[in-house]
Chain A
Amino acid sequence: MPTRYTRDHEWIRLDGDLAVVGISDHAQEQLGDIVFIELPEVGKKLAKGDEAAVVESVKAASEVFAPVAGEVVEVNATLTDTPGVVNEQPEGAGWFMKLKLDASADLDSLMNEDAYKAFLETI
């Protein structure tokens, strides 16, 4: 299953039974130096589009939304002390959370990498 993207610049990728969520390289570049990340509590149930996390760069605060519905089963605790990892490896070590997907979650409705790249050209 390849990585999927939202119009709000989150990415999501299946990892076994779970889905990993983070923000795209474009998003980290737009934010600039990231200095703080507020992660959700494990066990929190998120509907699609709910606020899942907050990213603070030197410049501003931004929300991260749940790309699909699911329950937070793990968060990337290393981001608490080293939020800059998201600038360095946004789609790897800088992942935010793992979700147990809701039955309604439809990843195929999201953009694949080519579609996301095309979308970035339009903004």
Chain B
Amino acid sequence: MAAYPCLSGNLILAEPTHNDEDLLETPLADRHRALGARMVPFGGYAMPVQYPTGIIAEHGWTREHAGLFDVSHMGPCLLRLVGPTGDPDFDHRAVAGLIEPLVTGDVAGLKPGQLRYTLLLNGEGGVVDDLMVARPADPAEAGTLYIVVNAGTKDGDFARIQEAAGERATLTRADDCGLLALQGPEAAAVMGDLVPDATGLSFMRYAAFMFEGERLLISRSGYTGEDGFEILVPPAAAGALWDRLLSDDRVKPIGLGARDSLRLEAGLPLNGHDLDATTSPVEADLGFAISKRRREAGDFLGAARILRELHEGPARLRVGIRPEGRAPAREGTEIRDADGRPVGVVTSGGFGPTAGGPVAMGYVAADVAKPETPVTLVVRGKDMPATVVAMPFVPHRYFRKT
């Protein structure tokens, strides 16, 4: 038996690691090993891909109860204005103005405590990274942005943000901290027993909370399509918080394997696979991340291309693909139209445990991007029928206050 390197799923064909390479570890690495996790290299870190129950069980548990993920490999940081005036709105606009030229989002327009998904661009309007930017809820902290970027790109992202800010703001990395994600329909009930006030957050809001003497930054957000929270915890307190959460019967640890299948079913792109430096936000069907004010101003990198694509439509588009039958279509699979013409490529694909079959996303030519368009996938030299479908494959269940 041998692996198909060219057909590997996202992230996961790597051999188990005993960390004899130069891999970083999160504050929870020993706990993962004690739980029997299989550790693999990901984003420069030794990370748990799965625990002994396996990916399908972990995936299902997250959809039905509450899954706990270690995402401490990611890149949280704080960007603080140097010499704030003390006027909260003025200071927020000042720090927002430093990062806005690099990203597509309306950062200045964030309300206190609001989190926004945005995209870091290169000069050609390609996506370097997707990230979260947030404004503190506490007016006393105005002039600071809480930013979380991806693991694999964080060094470059941080350098670009600091360079753009110059001496007007200071970027402080927080990636030595623990970053935990608690996701699933029972996440709020679990959180309610630990940090009751955090359950008052609506989707895409965050605030600082004290828990047993430690200051936690808790956001109502995630990467599974489920309700849930992401929690930044100081390094020395990360293990105790992890243990505390796992002591709840509703919570089980979930590895990167299920994180990948959960986000794929939720239709959420994975940077480096579904997004890369050649992909524009419009092609990636992430137009919602290009805020209205920014479109009107056209004041971001690559604006000429992006505005043209918004106006005329992109040449290719990220879509969902539902293969018929049971065979998964992996990253790299060629997509053809009904006439056999190559029209695109799968960028993420695998088995969706909740969807109950194979699911994929990829880029296709605009003329076949309409949902319900039949296409053919070329899997190991054989034609496999499939259909372009609207995403998500599994409906989102975010918590939005009415």
Given known A-B contacts A54-B380, A58-B261, A60-B12, A36 and B1 have beta carbons under 8 A apart: no
Query: In the complex, what's the smallest C-beta–C-beta distance from B83 to chain A, in angstroms?
Result: 50
B326 within 8 A of A: yes
Q: Tell whether A35 pairs with B8 under 8 Å between CB atoms, given A58-B261, A58-B353.
A: no
Closest to B2 in A: A63
Complex: chain B residue closest to A55, CB-CB: B1
Find chain A residues with CB under 8 A from B330 CB: 60-61
Residue A25 is within 8 A (CB to CB) of chain B in the complex? no
**How many angstroms from the CA of A18 to the CA of B276 in the assembled complex?**
51
Cα separation A71 to B247 with both chains bound (whole Å): 54
Query: Any chain B CB within 8 A of the CB of A102?
Result: no
The verdict on A58 contacting B7 (CB below 8 Å), with A32-B54, A36-B327 known, is no
Contact A56 B328 (CB under 8 A): yes
Q: How far is the CB of A14 from chain B (nearest CB, A)?
A: 21
CB distance from B91 to the nearest CB of A (A): 47
Which residue on chain B has the smallest CB distance to residue A52? B1
Contact of A20 with B by CB under 8 A: no
Which of chain B's residues 270-319 have a Cβ closer than 8 Å to chain A? Answer: none
Cβ–Cβ contact A36 & B380, under 8 A: no
Binary interface encoding of chain B residues 21-64 relative to chain A, with 1 for a CB under 8 A from any of its CBs, else 0:
00000000000000000000000000001100011100000000
Instruction: Give the contacts of A19-61 with B (CB-CB under 8 A).
Output: 23, 27, 32-33, 35-36, 38, 54-56, 58-61
- B3, B56, B326, B327: the one contacting A33 at CB < 8 Å is B56
Are the C-beta atoms of B9 and A60 separated by less than 8 Å? yes
How many residues in A have their beta carbons less than 8 Å from beta carbons of B?
A: 23
Query: Given A58-B56, A59-B49, A35–B351 Cβ distance below 8 Å?
Result: yes
A76: which B residues are within 8 A, CB to CB?
none
Q: Which residue of B lies closest to A33 (CB)?
A: B56
Residue pair A38, B327 in contact (C-beta under 8 Å): yes
Query: Could you tell me which residues of chain A, from 52 to 84, have a CB within 8 Å of some CB in chain B?
Result: 54-56, 58-65, 80, 83
Residues of A within 8 A of B328 (CB): 35-36, 56, 61
- Cα distance A119–B233 in the bound complex, in angstroms: 44
Please give me the residue from chain B that is nearest to A9 by CB atom: B1
Q: Measured between C-beta atoms, what is the minimum distance from B65 to chain A in Å?
A: 18
List chain A residues, Cβ under 8 A from B257: 32, 58-59
- Name the residue of chain B whose CB is nearest to the CB of A28: B1
Please determine whether B4 and A33 come into contact, CB atoms closer than 8 angstroms.
no
Asked if A91 CB lies within 8 Å of chain B CBs, one says: no
Select one of B7, B54, B351 contacting A36, CB under 8 A: B351
A59 pairs with B54, CB closer than 8 A: no
Q: Which residues of A contact B390 (CB under 8 A)?
A: none
A62 touches B327 (CB 8 A): no
Q: Please, which residues of chain B bring their CB within 8 A of the CB of A36?
A: 326-328, 351, 358
Residues of B within 8 A of A106 (CB): none
Q: List residues 346-384 of chain B with CB under 8 A from any CB of chain A.
A: 350-351, 353, 358, 380
Asked, given contacts A54-B380, A56-B327, whether A32 binds B2 with beta carbons under 8 Å apart, the answer is no
For B12, the chain A residues whose CB sits under 8 A away are 59-60
Inter-subunit contact A23/B13 (CB<8 Å): no
**Please, how many angstroms separate the alpha-carbon atoms of A60 and B7 in the complex?**
7
Which A residues are CB-close (under 8 A) to B55?
Answer: 32-33, 58-59
Rounded to whole Å, the gap between the CB of B261 and the closest CB of chain A is 6
A65 to chain B, nearest CB (A): 7
Q: Does any Cβ of B come within 8 Å of A113's Cβ? A: no
Chain A residues positioned under 8 Å from B380 (CB to CB): 38, 54
7 A-B residue pairs with Cβ-Cβ distance under 8 Å, sorted by A, are A8-B1, A35-B56, A54-B380, A58-B351, A61-B7, A63-B3, A65-B2
Other contacts beyond A59-B55, A61-B3, A61-B7: 13, CB < 8 A: A9-B1, A32-B50, A35-B56, A35-B328, A35-B358, A54-B380, A56-B327, A58-B261, A59-B350, A60-B3, A61-B4, A61-B330, A62-B2
